Amino acid sequence: MPAPVALSLVDVRVRYGDRFAVDGVSLDVRRGEIVGLLGPNGSGKSTTLAVAAGVLDAAEGTVTVEGISRLVDPAGFAMRVGFVPQECALYDELTATDNLTFFGKLYGLAGADLRRRVLRVLGRVRLADHAEQRVSTFSGGMKQRLNLAVALIHDPGLLLLDEPTAALDPASRDALFADLTRLRDDGHAVLLSTHHLDEAELGCDRVAVLDRGKLVACGSPNELLRCRSTDRQVLYGHLRVRPPKFLQKALQKRFGTRIEFEITGRRLRLSAPTNEDLGMALATILAEGIELETYRTPAGTLERTMRDSGSVAATHGGADQP
């Protein structure tokens, strides 16, 4: 028997001026799964999450969480949703405990029940030993875990995360996905946005690909790979330091069109038609003094699916196609 639907978006549209930022998106997210919203900047990921969280109204369509519409029962809707925005919504001069207590009171929690919840969520995100430490002393990874704890304080069934790994190093990113996997295994539904293809492949049960506000493909990473295979070789890496922009431009000019080369922050992505070309590109980068902390070459990738997403057959997990 399928798990209960936690989030249902049906033919959702959001208009900004004369264009639709979200254009007819239909998607279900069930309990016990992690779904990734994948797409470039401006594809509608953040807007879709804002609508799902109830912080933005849809111009058309319906949004329900565990069968509840915010338009009918705003309080009931809010208690079932935990939202982690891109920017950490924390008070730096307060301790972790004080932050969680403050946000818990906003949900109507109080007394011994609130104190128990604070201790429980701090344990879940591995911050119990830092409960009385000021957030201003936290690392980026610790702040993101506390941000997640804030979203969990009222024990929602649905978690929404907007590019949660944007400022994290590889170890912190892996730790965050480990936390999300445990939450999924405990029966939570998780919907997160990312524009990093490796995260979608490794961390999500299903991937929903957005392009200019439309949902153009949805399925497991393996299903999408079968829909559109690629013979290009891909390498993902994390750089020790971010190289100067002039070096990025010089390398791209040197590689030409045969090799795709992209650095976003300290993330590196290389794509080449053969392993030999990929090795040549990697050797060239290392020769320029660019140091890699970690790298991997996945056996399959969603690169072509993303690039040719308009021609991929959508395979929804229970929702109507847009």
Least Cα distance to 51 among 33, 79, 30, 77 occurs for 77
**Token pair of 165, please?**
């790994």
- pLDDT (tens digit, 9 = 90+) per residue, 16-65? 888 899 999 999 999 999 999 988 788 899 999 999 999 999 999 999 99
Assess contact for 270 and 235: CB atoms under 8 A.
yes
- pLDDT (tens digit, 9 = 90+) per residue, 271-302? 888 877 888 888 888 888 888 877 766 644 45
Assigned CATH topology for domain 5-227+303-311: Rossmann fold (3.40.50)
Domain residue ranges in the chain: 5-227+303-311, 233-296
274 vs 307, more confident: 274
- pLDDT (tens digit, 9 = 90+) per residue, 200-231? 877 899 999 888 899 988 888 877 765 544 56
**Token pair of 37, please?**
């919203």
Q: CB pairs under 8 A, 24+ apart, for 285-294?
A: 285/251, 288/243, 288/247, 288/251, 290/239, 290/243, 290/247, 291/239, 291/240, 291/241, 292/237, 292/238, 292/239, 292/240, 292/268, 293/170, 293/237, 293/238, 293/239, 293/240, 294/170, 294/237, 294/238
Sign of CA dihedral 36, 41, 45, 49: positive
Model confidence, pTM:
0.75
Assigned CATH topology for domain 233-296: Alpha-Beta Plaits (3.30.70)
* Whole-Å CA distances, 145 to 100, 139, 149, 234, 239: 12, 10, 6, 30, 23
Percent share of the chain, pLDDT over 70: 89
